[in-house]
Chain A
Amino acid sequence: MTGGVVGDSVGTAEALGAAEVVPSRTARARSVPAALLRSWLARRVLLGVAQTAAVVLLVFALTEALPGDAAVALAGDQPDPARIAAIRTELGLDRPAAERFADWVLGLLHGDLGTSLASGRPVATYLADGFGPTLLLAALTVVLLVPAGVGLGVLAARRAGSLADRLVSSATLAVYAVPEFALGVLLVTLFALRLGWLPPTAVGFGGDLLAHPAVLVLPVLVLLSRPVCSISRLVRAGMIDALRSPYVRQATRYGLSTARVRYLHALPNALAPAAQQLARTVDWLLCGVIVVEALFVIPGLGTVLMNAVAERDVPVVQGLAVVFGVIAVVLNLGADLVARRLAPRAGVAA
């Protein structure tokens, strides 16, 4: 859903490859005038608001374009036309689409996300209930992802072509190729059903996952699998590029220790693209990972979204669009700030 929003940061990531001579990270960062940064920030925030608004409008239009509406979905297999008309009137779906959208926007300006068509409960409670499990999964995944991804990437890049590199590279490529659903089924079958070490699902624990940490192990593993691969490969590629670059050779010629060159000069440049990949990963994690939620019965935002679309519960879908849009904008802004800090020359591309 938010693919369009994050797209703009890709250019930044690619531009980093062009960084050649970076004498000192800190000196360079300080050289960016504060006023320039502020105006850049203001532009980005404005752009983010516009992007979120565009997403919401697009989502509304697309939901309207889907066949059927909430009344048809509620009527299900008993589609008595008179009853559908009655439900439609009761839900106010007989009003023009533009009017309904305007009403909703007006409510939003007052901080009111509206009420669900399907249950009559406030959309805010849907989002609040779904956000807890989603945030928990995302936080755990990221906490493990960063050290694992960077560590593997650095390990592989230390000596390109070494056994460690070949092992890490082929393993990450192989794992990356496995779809999450298949990996999830595999892990459940092995660790939960065969070995009995871990619970197969989080069924029934939806509201209180932290009290049963064992149920989180397999979902987090599945969530980690692909991002660890992509980030470690990005870090590896960035490291190798950086280690071959003239500025690193120059630094080595100055007699700096290998470790210092590697971790203080090469790594930051390698991390910049990884930071943006990380932002996209976090965005993906926070916008609800439907496959993992369904497989492990974790009632997060992805589940809320699936149900809301099936029920044509437009207010809930729109509420989610706002939340997802804001998340994407904030994360990308954060990632760009971090990238500027790590490899400031790239800032001009943003």
Chain B
Amino acid sequence: MKNFKDLFETYSWEEVKESIYSKTKTDVEQALHATKRSLEDFKALVSPAAAKYLEPMAQLSQQLTRKRFGKVIQLYIPLYLSNECTNICTYCGFSLDNKVRRKTLSDEEILKEVAVIKALGYEHVLLVTGEANQTVHVEYFKRVLKLIHPYFAQISMEVQPLDTGEYTELIPLGLTSVLIYQETYHKEDYKKHHPKGKKSNFNYRLETPDRLGRAGIHKMGLGVLIGLEDWRTDSFFTALHLNYLEKTYWQTRYSLSFPRLRPFSGGLEPKVEMNDRELVQLICAYRLFNEEVEISLSTRESEKFRDHCVQLGITSISAGSKTNPGGYAVEPESLEQFEISDERSPELISAMIRSKGYEPVWKDWDKYFVS
């Protein structure tokens, strides 16, 4: 059976990094002029040499995005179901060693949260949890999907990695999309950041997209947490992963996101800083590399940055997000996973999107698309 791990193990982190940092202006210009771009072109586009080409990259990215997706931006909102977690992750507010009160929403509480989200106009929701297999397990997810499926056109999940069979059980209940971020493709550093819990198993996480593909998921999201390791090298491995998955699970759609490490109480300082220019470079590099991939931007980013990114290559955006379980209605003051930066309401974000000449899209899927 094909598996990304086999391909991944033929690459060396250090060699890839060196290759990226040795790309020249000529490599970047070649990549810009190509009609189909390879992984080598992608390396050139994320390299320091491409920094001078940001404006032409942005213009190309805008054109390609408009051609494929049109002048529209999709809106989604996260719904945090639980902050219980048995993992220690050095960068996360839900980490086991962070002494806070833990909460998992009951059915009644979930419906209260759903009512608030629906009133804001949302049709696409992203369910988020930590990893607590004793309480927040596949049976819990099945119950939640059955409970909320009538209310949403599209349900996505960002929870612990599951087995193929478990995904196969959840998909018919209305699960359209799963986000599974590798955090970092640097195996040794991954172990430092995930010292305890099931998440410390690098390979199990790395193989999750393969399990999702085999289960026939409609859409999956990839990405790394920017700030843990060299973002250029980590992004190359994300692109490699995306390339492999598209060829192997050709019936699945893919999305990317680039969370930059945000502060939380008692948390880790980023090892590697990525500035706004570099994040724009990365968004454009991915768009030039893959014209069809969806790119989302969360409320981690600032107002000004998000306002400008709408026209640069992203395709979906969240707004009015709460990153704590019960944050919308039940318990607004509980512990959040990270501090959000853009606190504007969905209504204001919607108006901002329109002012940029784009249509905010609330619904682009249907709950009836369940095999």
Q: Do A and B come from one complex?
A: no
